[in-house]
């Protein structure tokens, strides 16, 4: 599986542009998944120095990514291009909304 994981409000529970405190439960889960062979992509709006601080924060907590704000090299090779949308099986984000029956309550329409 490939996990695309947001940073602010997901891995880091502080206020942007700060880092921390860590969401240790999620970090531990992702480290375990990676050890089992899953791939991890850090998928965040951060860029430049704030992104560097986020990557360092994760590394300091034992979490290393297979890609940062980019598709995995094997995905790019498979499709012959690098789309702006990250290809993954699971998006982990504090702003996520599932597109199922629950979306009716949030968006006010039935699927």
**Averaged over 75-98, what is the pLDDT?**
91
Task: Give the predicted TM-score (pTM) of the model.
Answer: 0.88
Q: What is the reported pLDDT for 62?
A: 98
Beta pairing class for 67-68 and 39-42: parallel
**Averaged over 5-20, what is the pLDDT?**
96
Q: What is the reported pLDDT for 96?
A: 84
Kindly list the distances between the CA atom of residue 111 and the CA atoms of 54, 101, 107, in Å, as whole numbers in the listed order.
Answer: 37, 7, 10
**Cα radius of gyration (the chain):** 15
Handedness of CA 71, 75, 79, 80 (dihedral sign): positive
Q: Measured at the alpha carbon of residue 88, what is the angle toward residues 85 and 92, in degrees to the nearest 5?
A: 95
Kindly list the distances between the CA atom of residue 93 and the CA atoms of 33, 58, 68, 77, in Å, as whole numbers in the listed order.
Answer: 17, 16, 15, 26
CATH 3.40.228.10 fits 2-107, yes or no: no
The residues spanned by each domain of the chain are 2-107
């Amino acid at each position: 599986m490939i996990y695309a994981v947001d940073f602010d409000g997901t891995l880091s529970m502080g206020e942007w542009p700060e880092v921390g405190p860590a969401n240790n439960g999620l970090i531990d889960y992702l480290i375990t998944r990676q050890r089992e062979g899953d791939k991890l992509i850090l998928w965040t709006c951060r860029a430049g120095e704030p992104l560097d601080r986020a990557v360092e924060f994760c590394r300091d907590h034992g979490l290393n990514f297979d890609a940062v704000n980019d598709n995995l090299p094997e995905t790019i090779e498979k499709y012959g291009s690098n789309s702006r949308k990250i290809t993954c099986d699971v998006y982990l984000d504090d702003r996520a909304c599932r597109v199922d029956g629950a979306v009716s309550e949030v968006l006010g329409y039935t699927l």
